[in-house]
Amino acid sequence: MEKYLWAIPLLPLLGAGINGFGALTGALSRRAVNIIACTVVGIAFVLACLVNWELAQQAGHGGAPQLVSTWFEWIAAGSFSVDAALLVDPLAGVMLLVVTGVGFLIHVYSTGYMAHDPAYARYFAFINLFTFAMLLLVMGENLVLMFVGWEGVGLCSYLLIGFWFTDTEKAYAGKKAFVVNRVGDFGFLLGLFVLYWGLKEQGIDATLSIVGLREIVGANAISGAVITTVCLLLFVGATGKSAQIPLYVWLPDAMAGPTPVSALIHAATMVTAGVYMISRLSFLYLQSPLAMTVVACVGAATALYAATIGLTQFDIKKVLAYSTVSQLGYMFLAVGLGAFSAGIFHLVTHAFFKACLFLGSGAVIHAMGGEQDIRRMGGLRAKIPYTYWTFLLATIAIAGVFGTSGFMSKDEILAAALAANPDYTLVPGWLLYSIGTLGALLTTFYMFRLVFLTFFGDFRGGKDLEHHVHESPWSMVVPLIVLAALSIVGGLMNVPEILHGDERLHHWLSGAAPSVARVDVVGHGAEIGLMVALQVLILGTIALAYRMYLKSPAIPQRAAKVLGGVPYRLSYHKYYVDEIYDTLIVRPLHSISRVFLWGNVDVKIVDGSINGMARVVRYASDLLGRLQTGQLNGYAFSIVVGMVAILAYVAVK
């Protein structure tokens, strides 16, 4: 099986190459592009299933299941060596299934959604390339290869956000995503450097291979300060890629890309790369309680913060974007608590329901002819029933109603917060639990607000638009149904112990990313009590949203007024963070660049030195040119000078 590991990432790359060729030459029909793009990912999914089956076989025989495939030595510089190698353990196996499985569904969906786009082949070339980069990130055996995938997904994200680049605003959104990601990626790169340097410093054979690092860390060979620095720097990369405070600002703008892209890259896969990276390096993070705490706190803060912004947005995709940021916050909270399996579990269920929500919103936008403002929607329930039902099911899942996948995973995280292990979490668990619970309630509220405003009530978009509304083609509906079904039942893969489940995913991941948060501090009775209370609160929140947005639509405006408008405006304007960043960072940088770097460094030093060199050469040649007088006597004279000099030398010698 090891031999075929490489086929999983390389197949989408092949697809990207063929489709890219098609995009450049126009030689491929839409049908051909469809078939190629979906087939390569489909085969990759089948192979991913086989890989997981193989891992399960190994696990059955005992020992830690893992598959390694080394292709060639990629970088060799002195004692430093990096192989082009893939490593699949249960963690990567789960991630592989998500990337290829959800990815496949979204590819299928895209064939319907992008059917009328002229740049069809280019779209599929990019999205196949993205799949390749993501798989490389997931499977890379060492941090360098992981970094290649990390950069690759960033590139594809940039290309796809700015896919409709003739629209300046969308091109700008792509640029913003790229620049913000660069900040994070720089942190990641610095983390690698510090790690390598730290290993060298302590006289250890430096390696960036994950297996090798695990051994080194296991032997307690690296100092704590180095590990903390490395973990925090890598986490900076994760905040960029996974849209956490303070680098989350690009994700809402990234909604400028085609909706399937939002579903695949900006909900299901790429933005979870940070969570995956921390889980993959769990052995490293577990050595640094400080870094773990930082991760957990940033995650919790982001979860609550993004949820408050989601309350007031009117763009259907913006709401989902902030929801994504918030849910990613939960994942970081989980991994920060050391509950890696809970984080990955939420990653998987989130991939299901958020992909479903995004694809559903895409179907709504498709039906509305490009309209994204929920104030102009309403009453779509009857017109696009499949979209409505799948969207509703996914909403129930994300709200965490009992029995759904969202319930299972979110409950797992909250339970982990409650039972935080004080060895690894330096802040009280009940604080994180409270923040998480509040965020969960806000999530329920804004998601049902979205559903009620979009699908219930009367249509508010005008007569012309109302006639246009139509159900999407089957290529879009089928993935929606599959994802909706998974959103509901997907939680069964990891039924918590408290509900007498067997926690299959938790055990499956225990080797690759062992969870540490499980210290029973509250007891079963209290845990069940809290769970029931949370369910009641969630149902109450749904009722509140129903009352505010359907029964008496005047309430929200009154509420906004009663609150004095300040909190409302803060939320509506996203806390002015973009403006603050603009004032604090972008503008000063811009003026420094223009006035100092351009005006002084570039014009005076760079240009000046080059112009100066040219001037020196000109003056020198003017001087030397004067020697060439055209006077033969002068030339003869210089010969004599030379001759006398030689003779003088001979004579003196």
Interface with another protein (CB under 8 A): 625-634, 636-637, 640-641, 643-644, 647-648, 650-651
Query: Using an 8 Å Cβ cutoff, are 436 and 305 in contact?
Result: no
Least distance between another protein and beta carbon 646 (Å):
9
If the CB atoms of residues 521 and 644 are measured against another protein, the closer one turns out to be: 644
**Residue 566 vs 651, nearer CB to another protein:** 651
Looking at the Cβ atoms of 50 and 620, the one nearer to another protein is 620
What are the phi and psi torsion angles at 603 (to 5°)?
-65, -50
Query: Does residue 1 contact residue 54 with C-beta atoms inside 8 Å?
Result: yes
- State CA 246 to chain mean position distance: 14
Answer whether 491's CB lies under 8 Å from 505's CB.
no
Nearer to another protein, 554 or 627 (CB): 627
Query: Of 382 and 640, which CB lies nearer to another protein in the complex structure?
Result: 640
User: Which residue, among 491, 548, 528, has the nearest Cα to 352 in the 3D structure?
Assistant: 491
* Four-residue CA torsion sign, 503, 508, 510, 512: negative
CB nearer to another protein: give 543 or 640.
Answer: 640
> Cα 432 to chain center, whole Å?
23
User: Distance between CA 322 and CA 169 in Å, rounded?
Assistant: 19
Distance CA 592, CA 598 (A): 8
| CA pair distance 497, 524, nearest whole angstrom | 10
Contact 51, 96 (CB under 8 A): yes
Query: Rounded to an integer, what distance in angstroms lies between the CA atom of residue 491 and that of residue 56?
Result: 20
- Asked if 337 and 432 touch (Cβ cutoff 8 Å), the reply is yes
Backbone dihedral angles phi then psi of residue 446, each to the nearest 5 degrees: -70, -30
Q: Please name which of 194, 420, 419 lies closest in space to residue 295, comparing C-alpha atoms.
A: 420
**Nearest approach, Cβ of residue 607 and another protein (Å):** 30
Report the nearest approach of another protein to the CB of residue 645 (Å): 10
CA distances from 540 to 441, 546, 549 (A): 9, 10, 14
Is the Cβ of residue 219 or residue 650 nearer to another protein in the bound state?
650
**Using CA atoms, how far apart are residues 485 and 492, in angstroms rounded to an integer?**
12
378 conformational bin, left if phi > 0, alpha if psi -120 to 50, beta if neither: left
Residue 529 C-alpha from the chain's centroid? 35
Residue 618: CB minimum distance to another protein, A: 14
Minimum CB–partner distance for residue 602 and another protein (Å): 36
Q: Of 458 and 622, which has the nearer Cβ to another protein?
A: 622
Shortest approach of another protein to residue 612 CB, angstroms?
24
The least CB distance from residue 653 to another protein, in Å, is 11
Q: How far is the CB of 615 from another protein (least distance, A)?
A: 19
CB of 611 to another protein, least distance (A): 24
CB of 617 to another protein, least distance (A): 15
- Local structure of residue 526 (DSSP, 8 states): H
The minimum distance between CB 620 and another protein, in angstroms, equals 13
Residue number, 203 or 625, with CB nearest to another protein: 625
Identity of the residue, 221 or 640, whose beta carbon is nearer to another protein in the bound complex: 640
Closest distance of CB 639 from another protein, Å: 9
Beta strands in 102-196 (DSSP E): none
Distance (Å, whole) CA 529 – CA 134:
41
Alpha-carbon distance 225 to 343, whole Å? 26
Cα-flanking dihedrals φ and ψ of residue 46, to 5°?
Answer: -60, -45
DSSP label at residue 247: S
Contact between 67 and 51 under an 8 Å Cβ cutoff? The reply is yes
Q: CA separation (Å) from 581 to 249, 300, 497?
A: 9, 22, 45
Q: Name the residue nearer to another protein (CB basis): 72 or 649.
A: 649
- Which residue, 566 or 624, is less far from another protein as judged by CB? 624
Q: Give the residue with the Cβ less far from another protein, 554 or 650.
A: 650
Smallest separation, CB 614 to another protein (Å): 19
Distance between CA atoms of 182 and 233, rounded to whole angstroms? 13
Q: Do residues 303 and 414 touch, judged by C-beta distance below 8 A?
A: no
CB of 622 vs another protein, minimal distance in Å: 10
DSSP letter assigned to residue 471 = P
Nearer to another protein, 76 or 644 (CB): 644
Nearer to another protein, 168 or 631 (CB): 631
> What's the rounded Cα separation, in Å, for the pair 192 and 195?
5
User: Of 348, 355, 363, 357, nearest to 391 (Cα)?
Assistant: 357
How far, in Å, CA of 257 to CA of 126, rounded? 12
Shortest CA distance to 398 belongs to which of 536, 490, 497, 508? 490
- Report how far residue 508's alpha carbon sits from residue 38's, in angstroms, rounded to the nearest whole number: 29
Which residue, among 138, 143, 302, has the nearest Cα to 216 in the 3D structure?
Answer: 143
Angle between helical axes of 385-399 and 405-418 (0-180°, round to 10) = 20
Nearer to another protein, 25 or 633 (CB): 633
